[in-house]
Amino acid sequence: MIRKLLVANRGEIAVRIIRTCKEMGITTVAVHSVGDKEALHVNLADESICIGPDNPLKSYLNMNNIIQAACSSGCDAIHPGFGFLSENPKFAKLVEECGLIFVGPNHELISMLGDKNEARLQMGIIGVPVIPGSKDVIETAEIGLQEAEKIGYPVIIKASSGGGGKGMRIVWNSSDFVENYNTAKSEAKISFNDDRVYIEKYIESPKHIEVQLLGDMFGNVIHLYERDCSMQRKNQKILEEAPCHVLDNNIREKLIKDAVKICKHLKYYSAGTIEFLVDKSGNYYFMEMNTRIQVEHPITEMITGVDIVRQQIRIASGLKLNIKQEDIKINGYAIECRITAEDTKNNFAPSPGKIKFLNVPCGNGVRIETAVYNGYTIPPFYDSMIMKVITYAPTRLACIKKMRATLEELFVDGVKTNIEFQYLLLHSAKFISGRYDTSYVANYIKELSENAEFI
């Protein structure tokens, strides 16, 4: 069993991992940039090490500094969290070569699933439908233009090492391609230290449904059902719910069956999430597999009772899954709202700064994942998400009402946030019906703007 673990991340996910490690009796080491020296994850960990300046390329994306911190502090494992280096096969390989445990799949699996051409090839072998797209990484804008013409507009440019909507751009015609290509590459470099991108056909207005899985090193695979992640702004999820309220049961069964089949075919182990797009006709397509913990994992934990981070650590320690598929039942509904430090009335511009006052609600069925506190200064160098608010209830309507009441209590003074915008979404007819898709938020913002309401 892992004895001492370094958390190669920051913010609420670092806090989440450290708390689970404490429950498991595992000693923790936090790493931090110069500007994060007062961060909550630093204070909660048993030890902490500064790994560089505020620029993430020189700290949280600095592989050598992180490895050196793990070795010098006597760690036997590294948990990458999400974002940063979590899906970087070079980092996973370096961790393995240094004799440390990488809490996730091995670098070969990360590399294979990060290679979108290889992932699509594997899906073809086992008969899982995929979205048409480029076979290789797009090295230049000129090559990209040629590929886009073959695929047919609209297309979407995606970061090869990407996730969380970073390094992703929709292109509607050839005149906009070069600018979007360069922007996607730049974002990918900043977010993942890897500027490789590929192109896919853009499926308009789909449902974004993902299946949470757990696999161990002995070939056992279980699913924890699905999440609806269709509420997105600029390809970034802002609100998620589990299970999907409007998903046809036949489609649900097929999605889950294919997700488990993929994991077994790949001999995948650790926590993993397979993302599908479901079009208006009920056709679904494999989009990608995330080989890390997801931001939205708490809603799955709430409806299944499974601690996904704990299972990640157990699996990485070489233990068999201690739960069986028949033990997993959907119990109730859960919703997650991502709270960001953004000025929604200024095109959602980041709003870093000092939190002068913070009131965090609590109560039955309310879960808050955060790393901010009264007096904390939100730095401008990292993602703007400051908190995840999760509510749980026996029915979806009760869960929605609980989330509304929770956001009414939540108060953050000193920075702009998207709390009010989330509150509006929770009252929108489309959300209440559950029949929204990935285009809904953009259309809703446009509607609010035209009516001179809020935005």
At 163 the pLDDT is: 65
In the predicted structure, residue 162 carries a pLDDT above the cut 70 = no
At 402 the pLDDT is: 99
Which of the given ranges, 107-121, 155-169, 339-353, has the highest pLDDT on average? Answer: 339-353
In the predicted structure, residue 455 carries a pLDDT above the cut 70 = no
**Residue 157 identity:** I
* Position 355 confidence tier, pLDDT thresholds 50, 70, 90: very high
- Any catalytic annotation for residue 252? no
**How much is the mean pLDDT over the chain?**
96
- 420-444 pLDDT tens trace: 999 999 999 999 999 999 999 999 9
In order of their start, the domains of the chain are 4-103 (3.40.50.20), 104-129+207-331 (3.30.470.20), 132-201 (3.30.1490.20), 335-455 (3.30.470.20)
CB < 8 Å & 24+ apart, contacts of 134-143: 134/198, 134/199, 134/200, 136/198, 137/196, 137/197, 137/198, 138/181, 138/197, 138/198, 138/199, 141/177, 141/178, 141/181, 141/182
At 115 the pLDDT is: 83
Report the range of poorest mean pLDDT among 31-35, 39-43, 53-57, 117-121.
117-121
- 357-383 pLDDT tens trace: 999 999 999 999 999 999 999 999 999
Q: Which is the catalytic residue, given 10, 196, 233, 292? A: 292
* Position 263 confidence tier, pLDDT thresholds 50, 70, 90: very high
In the predicted structure, residue 449 carries a pLDDT above the cut 90 = no
Whether pTM > 0.75 for this model: the answer is yes
At 454 the pLDDT is: 59
Q: What is the average pLDDT across 384-405?
A: 99
In the predicted structure, residue 48 carries a pLDDT above the cut 80 = yes
What Rg value do the Cα atoms of the chain yield, rounded? 21
- Closest to 396 in 3D by CA, of 388, 404, 385, 387: 404
In the predicted structure, residue 143 carries a pLDDT above the cut 60 = yes
At 451 the pLDDT is: 77
* Position 191 confidence tier, pLDDT thresholds 50, 70, 90: confident
- Closest to 246 in 3D by CA, of 333, 117, 368, 136: 333
User: SS in 3 state form for the chain?
Assistant: CCCEEEECCCHHHHHHHHHHHHHHCCEEEEEEEHHHCCCHHHHHCCEEEEEECCCHHHCCCCHHHHHHHHHHCCCCEEECCCCCCCCCHHHHHHHHHCCCEECCCCHHHHHHHHCHHHHHHHHHHHCCCECCECCCCCCCHHHHHHHHHHHCCCEEEEECCCCCCCCEEEECCHHHHHHHHHHHHHHHHHHHCCCCEEEEECCCCCEEEEEEEEECCCCCEEEEEEEEEEEEECCEEEEEEECCCCCCHHHHHHHHHHHHHHHHHHCCCEEEEEEEEECCCCCEEEEEEECCCCCCHHHHHHHHCCCHHHHHHHHHCCCCCCCCHHHCCCCCEEEEEEEECEEHHHCCEECCEECCEEECCCCCCEEEEECCCCCCEECCCCCCEEEEEEEEECCHHHHHHHHHHHHHHCEEECCCCCHHHHHHHHHCHHHHHCCCCCCHHHHHHHHHHHCCCCC
Q: What is the average pLDDT across 51-62?
A: 98
In the predicted structure, residue 20 carries a pLDDT above the cut 90 = yes
At 117 the pLDDT is: 76
Q: What is the average pLDDT across 14-37?
A: 99
Q: What is the average pLDDT across 47-73?
A: 98
At 361 the pLDDT is: 97
Q: What CA–CA distance (Å, rounded) separates 395 from 311?
A: 27
At 132 the pLDDT is: 86
In the predicted structure, residue 97 carries a pLDDT above the cut 80 = yes
At 453 the pLDDT is: 64
- Closest to 50 in 3D by CA, of 62, 41, 59: 59
Q: What is the average pLDDT across 21-32?
A: 99
Contact status, residue 372 vs residue 356, Cβ threshold 8 Å: no
